[in-house]
Chains A and B, each alone.
Chain A
Amino acid sequence: MEFGLSADQKLLENSVRRFTEDSLPLERIREFANARTGFNAPLWQGLVDMAATGVLIPEQYGGADFRMLDAVVIQEALGRTVTPVPFTASAIMAPVALLTGGTDAQKEEWLPQIASGEVKVGVGVSEVISIRDASGVTVSGGRLNGHAMFVMDGGPADMFLIAAGPDNLAIIPRNAPGVTVTQLTTIDYSRMHCEIKLENVKADLVGGPAGAAEAIHKCIMAGRLALAADTLGAAEVMIYKAVEYAKERRQFDRVIASYQAVKHMCAEMISQLEPYRSLVWYAGHAYDAIPDDAPVKILLAKSGIDEAAKFVIRTATEVHGGMGFTDLMGLHYWYKRINVNRVLLGPPEILRNEAAIAQGWLKQHAII
């Protein structure tokens, strides 16, 4: 019985953390955010060199052939430094979708390029979860039409996986005729999502034996787990930044960390967040080892950590006082990343509905 990261996973965590922390002092985070590309070539190359971009891709396609918990460990480390890379969609969601539903030819064509980092993938599956502004893509006569919103990590992507309803998933090169990409600028400048308009675009549909529906389902699950891990890393950093700041900042001749009002805010933050580390780890482990248990646990982990982190982002900012509100302190980069993670691939309210359906308590969404 061993509940925790293996020695190899701790090594992996340490090497990614060392790399991102060395590469991303606050001024670099600010510089990359201001570029608003959701991408940085040297950072991406660093991840390629660590085999992180191929973490979930089998060796035969040039990947590292690790497990989902390893991907979770990497994603958490990336969240800690609000790293501006399209890791979630490209290295987690896209490989899962292609490995689940892709034909041999599709896997052979795309997976080696994803593992090597040459191709970055944006994933558009929002419409399967919730439709806003009448978005949606249809497929008919081998042609795709419509528009997909909040295509994750689509800003810097070279290729897209776009869902056309719950049963079709299309592979679309960025430069394919009829594709228009419009960047959607959220409050979080560290990753760039986009809207994609499709006019009579030729459909290369993902269609292996497991089918596109399963590919979409697993891709969304993996994406939500990754977002939970990203939030875990980012929120923990915010707590420790608040604790350290409180130990330095003096008012009324005392460090403010000695006031119970401040201490209790910090204790509440860590108490709410820390148990979710275990649930996120378990969900990552269950994804491969106990697949029947994974869907519900991922829904609970993601929706639960969203609430804990919502408390953390406002409270950690508050502990910093006026400085927390400034760009100088830069705390807002974490605040914004976590806030966007909360709603990507469905806000927690929708996830809780899905969890009720997945447990057989409800036949259809209570929210319609």
Chain B
Amino acid sequence: MDLSYGPEYEDFRSDLRVFLEKHKHKSPLAGMGMRGHPGPFERDWQALLIENGYTCRTIPKKYGGYGAEPDILKTVIIQEEFTSANVNSGLSGQGIGMLVPTLLERGNDDQREKYIRRTITGELYWCQGYSEPGAGSDLASLRTSAKVEDGHFIINGQKIWTSSAHFSDMCFILVRTEPDKPKHEGISYLLMDMKTPGIEVRPLVTMTGAAEFNEMFLTDVKVPVDSIVGERGEGWHVANTTLKHERGMLGDPALLLGRVESIIKILQHEKLNGRPLMEHASYLDRLVAAQAKTEALKFHALRLLSQTLNNEEPGLNRFIIKFYGTELARELSDIALEALGELGTLYDGSPHLRAHGSWQVRNMFDLGLIIGGGTSQIQKNIISERGLGMPREPKLAKAN
């Protein structure tokens, strides 16, 4: 056991702290996600972070990044310090998080030149066109088609769960170009301009009352043939490059530890029959039980980090993160809400509202996160099959 990061990294951390102290007044609000296209305020902050190497660190300089060698400890330190200072850590979203790494690995020079710099500066915002009404957990069964005519793909079909589509400039989309091939071999990965005629975006209002997602209808949408990433039929593998980047994340226990802190404050300050909730054994018991799980996750993430640094394949230890983290997030928001009792149900600007009603939004959104990005049931398949070596369920003979 050696939990120190070493002098080089502690210097990096103290420089970052100085930076945050000096510049945090320019930071957009942290942790809000993207509710609209990045404006000048967000883009200036992003430029400052890139210039100092606190975001887009490993993206080559020629594409507008900072051009550093990958260093996972520095990435972790950046995440820790921005979270604890409650400062915005730069632009997020599927363009920067998923498309850019994919273009770096699978795109051609033209595509990299054309898109990476404009994406990381916030000029271009991207949405992801993967899921369809009939292709959720079984994404590879997607049916949106693209036929080639006159140097263009002609796209027809429907996508769903396309978050941010209503303000995105571009979409990276999976379409079926080779209908006669097996399902994983017939997909292509295209880059589609959202201003192309034939795209209709309809907001998908969720249980929180907000329209966090969209449905996207595609009718004879013409996309030039050179907007394909990789070859025809390779789209599944190209997309998996991106998913690997998404799954490569170590989880962010700092966020859940922050939630535990918020619940501690609720139990200390909210009173029931005139006494602090903390003195009620049942609420206290649930808080500490969830705190134990959160601390376990924190050190589990450190262990994963250590395995990654040593080039060990964490396997099982990595597979459990999404399942464990999203279930725990929901447990934590449950505790906050239930400790608040009737007050916890208040919403939408009501009198006596606590924390702007955000615990209800979080609690509902936590359920969304249990379902999205591979449901808990799919995660359990991955854990048992790839982590524990249990066999896949045999396919049913076609019923019709």
Which A positions have Cβ atoms within 8 angstroms of B?
Answer: 1-6, 69, 243, 246-247, 254-255, 257-260, 262-264, 266-268, 270-272, 274-279, 281-282, 285, 289, 297, 300-301, 303-304, 307, 348-349, 352-353, 355-356, 361-362, 366-367
Contact = CB atoms under 8 A, between A and B. Distances in A.
A281 B380 contact: no
Contacts of B302: 3, 278, 282
Contacts of A366: 279-281, 284-285
Given A267-B381, A300-B296, A352-B292, 19 more contacts: A1-B4, A3-B305, A5-B1, A243-B389, A247-B389, A247-B391, A258-B391, A258-B393, A263-B385, A263-B388, A264-B377, A267-B380, A275-B299, A276-B296, A279-B295, A285-B1, A304-B289, A361-B284, A362-B284
Contact of A6 (B1, B279, B377): B1
Interface string B302-324: 11011101100000110010011
Most buried by B among A2, A5, A259, A262: A2
A304 B297 CA distance: 12
Given A2-B2, A3-B302, A69-B1, A267 B388 contact: yes
A304 B296 contact: yes
A148 to B, nearest CB: 27
Nearest to A368: B281
Contacts of A260: 377, 380-381, 393
Given A258-B393, A275-B300, A353-B284, A266 B384 contact: yes
B7 interface: no
A19 B377 CA distance: 39
B281 A275 contact: no
B380 to A, nearest CB: 4
B205 interface: no
A352 B288 contact: yes
Given A263-B381, A297-B295, A307 B390 contact: no
Given A2-B1, A257-B391, A352-B288, A267 B384 contact: yes
Nearest to A303: B292
Contacts of A274: 300, 316-317, 320
A318 B346 CA distance: 42
B6 interface: yes
Closest 10 CB pairs of A and B: A304-B292, A278-B299, A263-B384, A275-B296, A366-B281, A352-B288, A267-B380, A267-B383, A275-B300, A3-B306
Contacts of B291: 300, 355
A274 B299 CA distance: 11
Contacts of B3: 1, 3, 285, 289
A62 B313 CA distance: 40
Interface string B365-400: 000000000000101110111011111111000000
B268 interface: yes
Contacts of B384: 263-264, 266-267
Contacts of A355: 288, 291-292
B96 interface: no
B299 A263 contact: no
B247 to A, nearest CB: 16
Contacts of B388: 243, 263, 266-267, 270
14 contacts: A1-B5, A2-B1, A2-B306, A3-B1, A3-B302, A243-B388, A257-B390, A267-B320, A275-B293, A277-B303, A279-B292, A279-B295, A355-B288, A355-B292
Interface in B189-229: none
A348 to B, nearest CB: 8
A189 B289 CA distance: 29
Given A258-B394, A264-B380, A307 B289 contact: yes
B169 to A, nearest CB: 39
Contacts of A353: 281, 284-285, 288
A352 B284 contact: yes
Contacts of B324: 271-272, 275
Contacts of A281: 1, 299, 303
A56 to B, nearest CB: 17
A16 to B, nearest CB: 19
Interface in B1-27: 1-6, 9
B278 interface: yes
Contacts of B297: 275
A282 B103 CA distance: 39
Given A1-B306, A2-B2, A361-B264, A267 B300 contact: no
A349 B281 CA distance: 9
Interface in B210-269: 264, 267-268
Contacts of B310: 2
B299 A1 contact: no
B73 interface: yes
Contacts of A5: 1
A277 B384 CA distance: 19
B316 A349 contact: no
A266 B4 contact: no
A362 B299 CA distance: 26
Most buried by A among B279, B285, B295, B300: B295
Contacts of B377: 260, 264
Contacts of A361: 264, 267-268, 278, 284
Contacts of B380: 260, 263-264, 267-268, 271
A51 B3 CA distance: 27
Contact of B303 (A4, A243, A303): A4
Most buried by B among A69, A260, A297: A260
B4 to A, nearest CB: 7
A356 B296 contact: no
Contacts of B292: 279, 300-301, 303-304, 307, 352, 355
A289 B3 CA distance: 10
A259 B1 contact: no
A276 B294 CA distance: 10
A352 B285 contact: yes
Given A263-B384, A367-B281, A300 B288 contact: yes
B226 to A, nearest CB: 43
A243 B289 contact: no
